[in-house]
Copies of this chain bind each other. A is one copy, B any other.
Amino acid sequence: MDQHTQLPKVGMVGGGQLARMTHQATIALGQSLRVLAESETDGAALVAADVQIGSHTDLDALRAFAKDCDAVTFDHEHVPGEHIRALAAEGVNVQPSADALIYAQDKRAMRERLTELGAPVPRWAPVGSLADVEAFGLPCVLKATRGGYDGKGVWVVSTADEAAEVVAGGVGLIAEEKVELARELSAVVARSPFGQVAAYPVVETVQRDGICVEVIAPAPGLSEDLGAQAQRLAVSLAGELGVTGIMAVELFETADGRILVNELAMRPHNSGHWTIEGARTSQFEQHLRGVLDYPLGETALTAKWVVMANVLGGEPGGMRVDERLHHLMAGDPGAKVHLYGKAVRPGRKIGHVTVLGDDLDGLRARAQAAAIWLRDGVGHIEH
Protein backbone atom coordinates (compact mmCIF):
# COMPACT_ATOMS: atom_id res chain seq x y z
CA MET A 1 0.00 0.00 0.00
CA ASP A 2 1.41 3.36 -0.96
CA GLN A 3 1.68 5.53 2.15
CA HIS A 4 0.69 8.74 0.43
CA THR A 5 -2.19 7.70 -1.80
CA GLN A 6 -3.47 4.74 0.25
CA LEU A 7 -3.65 2.83 -3.03
CA PRO A 8 -1.98 -0.49 -3.81
CA LYS A 9 1.58 -0.83 -5.04
CA VAL A 10 2.25 -3.32 -7.85
CA GLY A 11 5.78 -4.46 -8.61
CA MET A 12 6.67 -5.78 -12.05
CA VAL A 13 9.82 -7.84 -12.50
CA GLY A 14 11.47 -6.85 -15.78
CA GLY A 15 11.89 -3.39 -17.26
CA GLY A 16 10.98 -3.82 -20.92
CA GLN A 17 8.19 -2.33 -23.00
CA LEU A 18 5.53 -4.38 -21.25
CA ALA A 19 6.43 -2.83 -17.91
CA ARG A 20 6.71 0.56 -19.63
CA MET A 21 3.17 0.35 -21.00
CA THR A 22 1.88 -1.18 -17.76
CA HIS A 23 3.24 1.87 -15.95
CA GLN A 24 1.09 4.11 -18.15
CA ALA A 25 -1.99 2.12 -17.12
CA THR A 26 -0.92 2.10 -13.47
CA ILE A 27 -0.84 5.90 -13.40
CA ALA A 28 -4.53 6.10 -14.35
CA LEU A 29 -5.43 3.85 -11.43
CA GLY A 30 -3.77 6.31 -9.05
CA GLN A 31 -0.69 4.18 -8.57
CA SER A 32 2.93 4.06 -9.72
CA LEU A 33 4.41 0.78 -10.94
CA ARG A 34 7.53 -0.44 -9.14
CA VAL A 35 9.93 -1.88 -11.70
CA LEU A 36 12.83 -4.29 -11.26
CA ALA A 37 15.05 -3.50 -14.24
CA GLU A 38 18.39 -4.91 -15.26
CA SER A 39 19.65 -1.52 -16.39
CA GLU A 40 18.80 2.13 -15.96
CA THR A 41 18.23 2.34 -19.70
CA ASP A 42 15.56 -0.36 -19.81
CA GLY A 43 12.39 1.04 -21.40
CA ALA A 44 10.40 1.08 -18.17
CA ALA A 45 13.30 2.30 -16.04
CA LEU A 46 13.47 5.42 -18.21
CA VAL A 47 9.91 6.45 -17.34
CA ALA A 48 8.92 5.03 -13.94
CA ALA A 49 9.49 6.78 -10.62
CA ASP A 50 10.02 3.66 -8.54
CA VAL A 51 12.79 1.63 -10.14
CA GLN A 52 15.16 -0.86 -8.59
CA ILE A 53 18.12 -2.18 -10.56
CA GLY A 54 18.78 -5.87 -10.13
CA SER A 55 18.59 -9.28 -11.70
CA HIS A 56 15.42 -11.35 -11.84
CA THR A 57 17.56 -14.38 -11.02
CA ASP A 58 18.83 -12.89 -7.74
CA LEU A 59 16.51 -13.93 -4.91
CA ASP A 60 17.77 -11.21 -2.57
CA ALA A 61 17.08 -8.55 -5.21
CA LEU A 62 13.59 -10.01 -5.70
CA ARG A 63 12.99 -10.00 -1.92
CA ALA A 64 14.04 -6.36 -1.57
CA PHE A 65 11.93 -5.48 -4.59
CA ALA A 66 8.82 -7.24 -3.29
CA LYS A 67 8.92 -5.47 0.06
CA ASP A 68 5.75 -3.36 0.53
CA CYS A 69 4.32 -4.49 -2.82
CA ASP A 70 0.65 -5.49 -2.67
CA ALA A 71 1.25 -7.70 -5.69
CA VAL A 72 4.31 -8.74 -7.68
CA THR A 73 3.98 -9.69 -11.33
CA PHE A 74 6.15 -10.12 -14.42
CA ASP A 75 7.11 -8.50 -17.70
CA HIS A 76 8.69 -11.81 -18.88
CA GLU A 77 8.77 -15.52 -18.03
CA HIS A 78 12.36 -15.76 -16.88
CA VAL A 79 12.09 -15.61 -13.11
CA PRO A 80 13.04 -19.05 -11.72
CA GLY A 81 10.08 -20.92 -10.27
CA GLU A 82 11.98 -21.67 -7.06
CA HIS A 83 12.46 -17.95 -6.46
CA ILE A 84 8.75 -17.31 -6.98
CA ARG A 85 7.94 -20.12 -4.52
CA ALA A 86 10.40 -18.70 -2.00
CA LEU A 87 8.78 -15.25 -2.21
CA ALA A 88 5.29 -16.71 -1.92
CA ALA A 89 6.37 -18.77 1.12
CA GLU A 90 7.57 -15.55 2.73
CA GLY A 91 4.16 -13.98 2.23
CA VAL A 92 4.65 -12.07 -1.03
CA ASN A 93 1.51 -11.94 -3.19
CA VAL A 94 2.98 -13.17 -6.49
CA GLN A 95 0.60 -13.17 -9.48
CA PRO A 96 0.59 -15.43 -11.40
CA SER A 97 1.87 -18.17 -9.10
CA ALA A 98 4.86 -20.38 -9.91
CA ASP A 99 2.41 -23.26 -10.38
CA ALA A 100 0.68 -21.39 -13.19
CA LEU A 101 3.71 -19.68 -14.68
CA ILE A 102 5.53 -22.97 -15.32
CA TYR A 103 3.22 -23.51 -18.31
CA ALA A 104 4.49 -20.31 -19.88
CA GLN A 105 8.10 -21.07 -18.95
CA ASP A 106 8.48 -24.67 -19.99
CA LYS A 107 7.04 -25.92 -23.29
CA ARG A 108 7.28 -29.55 -22.27
CA ALA A 109 5.37 -28.96 -19.03
CA MET A 110 2.81 -26.99 -21.02
CA ARG A 111 2.39 -29.71 -23.66
CA GLU A 112 2.06 -32.40 -20.98
CA ARG A 113 -0.55 -30.48 -19.00
CA LEU A 114 -2.54 -29.44 -22.05
CA THR A 115 -2.52 -33.04 -23.27
CA GLU A 116 -3.85 -34.17 -19.87
CA LEU A 117 -6.56 -31.53 -20.09
CA GLY A 118 -7.56 -32.66 -23.56
CA ALA A 119 -6.76 -29.27 -25.09
CA PRO A 120 -6.06 -29.33 -28.83
CA VAL A 121 -2.29 -29.35 -29.42
CA PRO A 122 -0.08 -30.45 -32.31
CA ARG A 123 1.16 -34.05 -32.13
CA TRP A 124 4.28 -33.82 -29.97
CA ALA A 125 6.81 -35.78 -27.91
CA PRO A 126 9.69 -35.02 -25.58
CA VAL A 127 13.00 -35.79 -27.32
CA GLY A 128 16.41 -36.39 -25.74
CA SER A 129 18.32 -37.91 -28.61
CA LEU A 130 18.47 -38.13 -32.38
CA ALA A 131 16.84 -41.57 -32.08
CA ASP A 132 13.87 -39.95 -30.31
CA VAL A 133 13.52 -37.42 -33.13
CA GLU A 134 13.71 -40.15 -35.77
CA ALA A 135 11.16 -42.20 -33.84
CA PHE A 136 8.88 -39.12 -33.76
CA GLY A 137 9.30 -38.74 -37.51
CA LEU A 138 10.94 -36.26 -39.87
CA PRO A 139 10.33 -33.54 -40.97
CA CYS A 140 9.27 -32.01 -37.68
CA VAL A 141 9.65 -28.92 -35.54
CA LEU A 142 12.11 -29.00 -32.63
CA LYS A 143 11.52 -26.50 -29.86
CA ALA A 144 13.70 -25.62 -26.89
CA THR A 145 11.60 -26.28 -23.81
CA ARG A 146 12.86 -23.04 -22.22
CA GLY A 147 13.86 -19.52 -23.20
CA GLY A 148 12.73 -19.23 -26.82
CA TYR A 149 11.12 -16.05 -28.19
CA ASP A 150 10.53 -14.34 -31.53
CA GLY A 151 11.40 -17.49 -33.49
CA LYS A 152 14.54 -18.21 -31.45
CA GLY A 153 14.58 -21.72 -29.95
CA VAL A 154 12.50 -23.12 -32.82
CA TRP A 155 14.00 -25.25 -35.60
CA VAL A 156 12.20 -26.82 -38.54
CA VAL A 157 14.26 -29.93 -39.35
CA SER A 158 13.84 -32.14 -42.40
CA THR A 159 16.81 -34.49 -42.16
CA ALA A 160 18.60 -36.52 -39.50
CA ASP A 161 21.68 -34.33 -39.98
CA GLU A 162 19.71 -31.17 -39.26
CA ALA A 163 18.07 -32.77 -36.24
CA ALA A 164 21.41 -34.04 -34.95
CA GLU A 165 22.81 -30.53 -35.03
CA VAL A 166 19.95 -29.20 -32.89
CA VAL A 167 20.13 -32.13 -30.46
CA ALA A 168 23.89 -31.55 -30.12
CA GLY A 169 23.09 -28.05 -28.83
CA GLY A 170 22.29 -29.73 -25.53
CA VAL A 171 19.09 -27.81 -24.69
CA GLY A 172 15.93 -29.57 -23.52
CA LEU A 173 13.74 -30.23 -26.57
CA ILE A 174 10.34 -31.33 -27.67
CA ALA A 175 9.40 -32.41 -31.17
CA GLU A 176 6.17 -31.30 -32.80
CA GLU A 177 4.46 -32.10 -36.07
CA LYS A 178 4.81 -29.39 -38.68
CA VAL A 179 1.24 -28.11 -38.75
CA GLU A 180 -0.41 -27.14 -42.03
CA LEU A 181 -1.21 -23.59 -41.06
CA ALA A 182 -3.93 -21.41 -42.45
CA ARG A 183 -2.75 -18.64 -40.14
CA GLU A 184 -1.95 -17.81 -36.52
CA LEU A 185 -4.45 -16.48 -34.01
CA SER A 186 -4.24 -15.26 -30.45
CA ALA A 187 -6.88 -15.46 -27.73
CA VAL A 188 -6.10 -13.03 -24.93
CA VAL A 189 -7.95 -13.42 -21.65
CA ALA A 190 -7.58 -12.13 -18.11
CA ARG A 191 -8.39 -13.88 -14.88
CA SER A 192 -8.43 -12.64 -11.30
CA PRO A 193 -7.59 -14.66 -8.17
CA PHE A 194 -11.29 -14.44 -7.33
CA GLY A 195 -11.91 -16.39 -10.55
CA GLN A 196 -13.47 -13.73 -12.76
CA VAL A 197 -12.44 -14.13 -16.40
CA ALA A 198 -12.69 -11.68 -19.31
CA ALA A 199 -11.91 -12.50 -22.94
CA TYR A 200 -10.83 -10.14 -25.71
CA PRO A 201 -11.94 -10.80 -29.28
CA VAL A 202 -9.68 -13.36 -30.97
CA VAL A 203 -7.11 -11.71 -33.22
CA GLU A 204 -4.99 -12.73 -36.19
CA THR A 205 -1.25 -12.43 -35.76
CA VAL A 206 0.96 -12.17 -38.81
CA GLN A 207 4.55 -13.37 -38.40
CA ARG A 208 7.58 -12.74 -40.56
CA ASP A 209 10.84 -14.60 -39.83
CA GLY A 210 9.31 -15.79 -36.56
CA ILE A 211 8.57 -12.24 -35.39
CA CYS A 212 5.04 -10.91 -35.03
CA VAL A 213 4.75 -7.99 -37.42
CA GLU A 214 1.02 -7.32 -37.50
CA VAL A 215 -2.07 -8.00 -35.39
CA ILE A 216 -5.61 -7.63 -36.72
CA ALA A 217 -8.55 -7.37 -34.34
CA PRO A 218 -10.88 -9.10 -34.68
CA ALA A 219 -9.39 -11.92 -36.80
CA PRO A 220 -10.85 -11.31 -40.28
CA GLY A 221 -13.20 -13.99 -41.56
CA LEU A 222 -12.92 -16.12 -38.44
CA SER A 223 -16.04 -18.27 -38.17
CA GLU A 224 -18.18 -17.45 -35.16
CA ASP A 225 -17.88 -21.05 -34.10
CA LEU A 226 -14.08 -21.18 -34.22
CA GLY A 227 -13.82 -17.78 -32.51
CA ALA A 228 -16.06 -18.96 -29.69
CA GLN A 229 -14.09 -22.22 -29.45
CA ALA A 230 -10.84 -20.27 -29.13
CA GLN A 231 -12.25 -17.98 -26.43
CA ARG A 232 -13.75 -20.90 -24.51
CA LEU A 233 -10.45 -22.76 -24.72
CA ALA A 234 -8.50 -19.76 -23.39
CA VAL A 235 -11.01 -19.13 -20.60
CA SER A 236 -10.99 -22.77 -19.61
CA LEU A 237 -7.17 -22.97 -19.64
CA ALA A 238 -6.93 -19.81 -17.52
CA GLY A 239 -9.08 -21.51 -14.89
CA GLU A 240 -7.47 -24.96 -15.11
CA LEU A 241 -3.93 -23.58 -14.92
CA GLY A 242 -4.76 -21.01 -12.22
CA VAL A 243 -3.67 -18.04 -14.31
CA THR A 244 -3.99 -14.53 -12.85
CA GLY A 245 -3.64 -11.37 -14.91
CA ILE A 246 -3.37 -11.57 -18.69
CA MET A 247 -2.80 -14.82 -20.56
CA ALA A 248 -2.28 -14.93 -24.33
CA VAL A 249 -3.01 -18.28 -25.95
CA GLU A 250 -1.15 -18.32 -29.26
CA LEU A 251 -3.04 -20.57 -31.66
CA PHE A 252 -2.57 -22.21 -35.02
CA GLU A 253 -5.60 -22.19 -37.28
CA THR A 254 -5.07 -25.28 -39.43
CA ALA A 255 -5.78 -25.62 -43.12
CA ASP A 256 -8.62 -27.99 -42.21
CA GLY A 257 -10.33 -25.51 -39.88
CA ARG A 258 -9.17 -26.55 -36.42
CA ILE A 259 -7.36 -24.60 -33.73
CA LEU A 260 -4.28 -25.93 -31.91
CA VAL A 261 -2.48 -24.30 -29.01
CA ASN A 262 0.98 -23.14 -29.97
CA GLU A 263 2.24 -21.29 -26.88
CA LEU A 264 1.05 -19.61 -23.71
CA ALA A 265 2.22 -16.27 -22.29
CA MET A 266 1.15 -15.09 -18.84
CA ARG A 267 1.65 -11.34 -19.03
CA PRO A 268 0.59 -8.54 -21.36
CA HIS A 269 1.44 -9.80 -24.84
CA ASN A 270 2.36 -8.32 -28.20
CA SER A 271 -0.90 -9.69 -29.62
CA GLY A 272 -2.75 -7.44 -27.15
CA HIS A 273 -1.05 -4.09 -27.77
CA TRP A 274 -3.97 -3.08 -30.02
CA THR A 275 -6.16 -2.94 -26.89
CA ILE A 276 -4.57 0.36 -25.74
CA GLU A 277 -6.76 2.28 -28.17
CA GLY A 278 -8.79 -0.57 -29.63
CA ALA A 279 -10.55 -2.00 -26.57
CA ARG A 280 -12.44 -0.28 -23.78
CA THR A 281 -9.91 -1.70 -21.28
CA SER A 282 -6.29 -2.10 -22.34
CA GLN A 283 -4.54 -5.38 -21.61
CA PHE A 284 -2.18 -3.44 -19.36
CA GLU A 285 -4.95 -2.09 -17.15
CA GLN A 286 -6.60 -5.50 -17.30
CA HIS A 287 -3.41 -7.19 -16.13
CA LEU A 288 -3.25 -4.81 -13.16
CA ARG A 289 -6.89 -5.42 -12.36
CA GLY A 290 -6.27 -9.14 -12.56
CA VAL A 291 -3.21 -9.27 -10.34
CA LEU A 292 -4.80 -6.88 -7.79
CA ASP A 293 -8.02 -8.94 -7.75
CA TYR A 294 -9.97 -5.90 -8.91
CA PRO A 295 -13.07 -6.57 -11.02
CA LEU A 296 -12.06 -6.87 -14.69
CA GLY A 297 -12.84 -4.24 -17.32
CA GLU A 298 -14.88 -4.31 -20.50
CA THR A 299 -13.12 -5.95 -23.44
CA ALA A 300 -15.31 -4.57 -26.24
CA LEU A 301 -13.67 -3.16 -29.37
CA THR A 302 -13.75 0.63 -29.78
CA ALA A 303 -13.86 0.40 -33.59
CA LYS A 304 -14.89 -2.11 -36.23
CA TRP A 305 -11.29 -2.97 -37.04
CA VAL A 306 -8.05 -2.37 -35.21
CA VAL A 307 -4.64 -3.04 -36.80
CA MET A 308 -1.33 -2.95 -34.95
CA ALA A 309 2.04 -3.13 -36.69
CA ASN A 310 5.29 -3.64 -34.83
CA VAL A 311 8.05 -1.16 -35.56
CA LEU A 312 11.42 -2.86 -35.94
CA GLY A 313 14.75 -1.08 -35.77
CA GLY A 314 16.22 -0.36 -39.22
CA GLU A 315 19.73 -0.17 -40.56
CA PRO A 316 21.88 2.57 -39.05
CA GLY A 317 22.04 5.93 -40.79
CA GLY A 318 19.52 8.17 -42.44
CA MET A 319 16.93 10.22 -40.63
CA ARG A 320 16.79 10.22 -36.85
CA VAL A 321 13.76 8.46 -35.34
CA ASP A 322 12.21 11.74 -34.23
CA GLU A 323 12.43 13.12 -37.77
CA ARG A 324 10.72 9.99 -39.04
CA LEU A 325 8.07 10.48 -36.40
CA HIS A 326 7.55 14.05 -37.66
CA HIS A 327 6.90 12.87 -41.19
CA LEU A 328 4.62 10.08 -40.04
CA MET A 329 2.57 12.49 -37.92
CA ALA A 330 2.24 14.84 -40.86
CA GLY A 331 1.23 12.06 -43.25
CA ASP A 332 -1.06 10.13 -40.92
CA PRO A 333 -2.32 12.29 -38.05
CA GLY A 334 -4.59 9.50 -36.77
CA ALA A 335 -1.89 6.84 -36.38
CA LYS A 336 -1.15 6.06 -32.73
CA VAL A 337 2.56 5.60 -32.19
CA HIS A 338 4.13 3.87 -29.20
CA LEU A 339 7.90 3.99 -28.91
CA TYR A 340 9.64 1.97 -26.22
CA GLY A 341 12.64 4.15 -25.42
CA LYS A 342 15.07 1.66 -26.93
CA ALA A 343 18.25 2.35 -28.80
CA VAL A 344 17.72 1.30 -32.43
CA ARG A 345 19.21 -2.02 -33.51
CA PRO A 346 18.26 -3.72 -36.78
CA GLY A 347 15.33 -6.09 -36.28
CA ARG A 348 14.72 -5.13 -32.64
CA LYS A 349 11.13 -4.25 -31.70
CA ILE A 350 11.37 -0.55 -30.87
CA GLY A 351 7.69 0.35 -30.90
CA HIS A 352 4.34 -0.22 -32.52
CA VAL A 353 1.69 1.69 -34.42
CA THR A 354 -2.08 1.23 -34.09
CA VAL A 355 -4.80 2.43 -36.47
CA LEU A 356 -8.57 1.97 -36.11
CA GLY A 357 -11.58 2.32 -38.38
CA ASP A 358 -13.99 0.71 -40.81
CA ASP A 359 -11.87 -0.10 -43.86
CA LEU A 360 -9.67 -3.08 -43.06
CA ASP A 361 -7.57 -2.99 -46.24
CA GLY A 362 -6.90 0.72 -45.79
CA LEU A 363 -5.98 0.24 -42.13
CA ARG A 364 -3.56 -2.57 -42.94
CA ALA A 365 -1.90 -0.45 -45.60
CA ARG A 366 -1.62 2.52 -43.18
CA ALA A 367 -0.20 0.43 -40.34
CA GLN A 368 2.32 -1.25 -42.61
CA ALA A 369 3.37 2.00 -44.23
CA ALA A 370 3.81 3.65 -40.83
CA ALA A 371 5.92 0.78 -39.50
CA ILE A 372 8.11 0.68 -42.60
CA TRP A 373 8.51 4.44 -42.54
CA LEU A 374 9.62 4.43 -38.91
CA ARG A 375 12.00 1.55 -39.63
CA ASP A 376 13.57 2.73 -42.86
CA GLY A 377 12.64 6.36 -43.35
CA VAL A 378 11.46 5.51 -46.86
CA GLY A 379 8.18 4.67 -48.54
CA HIS A 380 4.85 6.35 -48.86
CA ILE A 381 2.80 7.10 -45.75
CA GLU A 382 -0.77 6.03 -46.42
CA HIS A 383 -3.73 7.93 -45.06
Contact of A28 among B48, B337, B343 (CB under 8 A): B337
Q: Is A27 a contact of B47 with CB atoms below 8 Å?
A: yes
Q: Is B340 a contact of A30 with CB atoms below 8 Å?
A: yes
Contact of A298 among B5, B32, B334 (CB under 8 A): B334
In the complex, A345 has a CB within 8 A of chain B: no
In the complex, A207 has a CB within 8 A of chain B: no
Per DSSP, chain A at the interface is loop
Among A30, A51, A321, the one with the most B-chain Cβ atoms within 10 Å of its Cβ is A30
In the complex, A7 has a CB within 8 A of chain B: yes
Give per-residue flags for A45-73: 1 if the beta carbon is below 8 A from chain B beta carbons, else 0. Answer: 11111010000000000000000000000
Inter-chain CA distance A23–B23, complex, in Å, is 11
From residue A342, how far is it (CB to closest CB) to chain B in Å? 7
Contact of A297 among B31, B295, B334 (CB under 8 A): B334
21 A-B pairs in the complex with CB atoms less than 8 angstroms apart: A4-B341, A4-B343, A6-B344, A21-B27, A26-B47, A27-B47, A29-B337, A29-B339, A30-B340, A32-B341, A46-B49, A47-B48, A49-B51, A281-B333, A289-B329, A294-B325, A295-B330, A296-B333, A297-B334, A300-B334, A302-B303
- Given known contacts A281-B334, A297-B329, what 7 new A-B pairs fall within 8 Å (CB)? A24-B27, A28-B339, A30-B341, A47-B49, A48-B49, A49-B49, A295-B326
